[in-house]
Structure 1
């Protein structure tokens, strides 16, 4: 086991936070994770606090918060532990590794929360709603599974809607100002980024979509 106290003096304490990630029984590196029954995955979860709140609301479901940065994910892991939650895990991996982490046709819900919009056209292939990723989501979702997307960037959100429609997804629910809508309160759980954007006067765009079968 790593001792976090051995890593305190470091740039932005990042090594310290990685040590905390390594020590948490709720945290997994990509090569440590074994495929298991999971209901909901949050892709690009950041600190994972959004998944923690969902897990608290739905103890009968199994959740995974996935992000490439373990120093962020450890925040959610320790809060989950403090709240006594045993139905949420935190996996450090890339979004393009999803098919190696979860069984095809097994997920009830995939959340994509405020991913990097990669605004330059040459970077469109890195956006988490490009056709390559939509194909992965389609393969992972169960027959009645859903994809939920939240984002503050209207241009990215419009682009994402175009990708969904072009790829044959059915738009079930849509809002260009989620927190002023009458949609489910589950959708309105705030991510850390979302709190910041709302405080700056931005609004949250939301879409719920399912792939045609």
Structure 2
């Protein structure tokens, strides 16, 4: 029988409290009910640490970015990086995916990134997947007329399931690849090639990364 040191739980709780304090003290971070909607061009849902959005914001200073995740202790890492780089075009909000409609105005986004969300492999949990039809309907309302939904994932089964949902819902698939970092369609300067925190791990383990861009169907946008 293995022995678990109770002091380890104390240390973990302290670390989480410290990270939450960093989130609460950052001028770039907001709780869902504190956020005042503003003009946003690009949103990342399920952003994790938010470092992917930070890199996008650094590349495109003319655009406004919003990174959304349910865990503040993750988002604070991206906020700290953004502050250190002097970025003033990105914010971080702790919120659920079903609250996105209250964070951004309808038809305001040019891009909406869904990066490595929980695949919820059990069929009975499919409604929680961020590419489930009810989320796709919400995304379509947030995107502008030429806007794109952009999906990256390492789980092949989840990625294929997501493609099926997009096709059934009438989205127009663009730039599809099942191995992003080996594809000749995307050069090193492509935004799609920027790696998230988790993506660096998966690529290091030799996993192929699926990527697709999708434009909403005009007939099913409302």
8 A contact 1:118–1:126 mirrored in 2: yes
Q: Where does residue 4 of structure 1 map in the other structure?
A: none
Q: 2:81 aligns with which of 61, 79, 82?
A: 79
In 2, the alpha carbon distance for the partners of 1:128 and 1:12 equals 31
Moved over 3 A (4+): none
In 2, the alpha carbon distance for the partners of 1:27 and 1:193 equals 21
Unaligned 5+ segments in structure 1 are: 1-7
In 2, the alpha carbon distance for the partners of 1:68 and 1:212 equals 29
1:65-119 deviation digits (Å, cap 9, x = unpaired): 1000000000000100000000000000000100111100111000000000000
* Displacement of 1:201: 1.1
Q: Where does residue 194 of structure 1 map in the other structure?
A: 199
In 2, the alpha carbon distance for the partners of 1:105 and 1:53 equals 24
3-state DSSP class of the match of 2:56? helix
3-state DSSP class of the match of 2:77? helix
3-state DSSP class of the match of 2:110? strand
Q: Where does residue 183 of structure 1 map in the other structure?
A: 186
Q: Where does residue 173 of structure 2 map in the other structure?
A: 171
In 2, the alpha carbon distance for the partners of 1:12 and 1:22 equals 15
RMSD (Å) for aligned C-alpha atoms = 1.1
2:59 paired with 1:54? no
Q: Where does residue 41 of structure 2 map in the other structure?
A: 39
Q: Where does residue 3 of structure 2 map in the other structure?
A: none
Unaligned 5+ segments in structure 2 are: 1-9
8 A contact 1:10–1:16 mirrored in 2: no
2:77 paired with 1:101? no
In 1, the alpha carbon distance for the partners of 2:92 and 2:211 equals 24
3-state DSSP class of the match of 1:119? coil
2:119 paired with 1:114? no
Task: Name the larger-Rg structure.
Answer: 2
2:215 paired with 1:210? yes
In 1, the alpha carbon distance for the partners of 2:127 and 2:117 equals 13
Structure 1 residues 152 and 12, CA gap change in structure 2 (3 angstroms): farther
TM-score by length of 1: 0.95
* Displacement of 1:173: 1.2
Q: Where does residue 29 of structure 2 map in the other structure?
A: 27
In 2, the alpha carbon distance for the partners of 1:156 and 1:129 equals 9
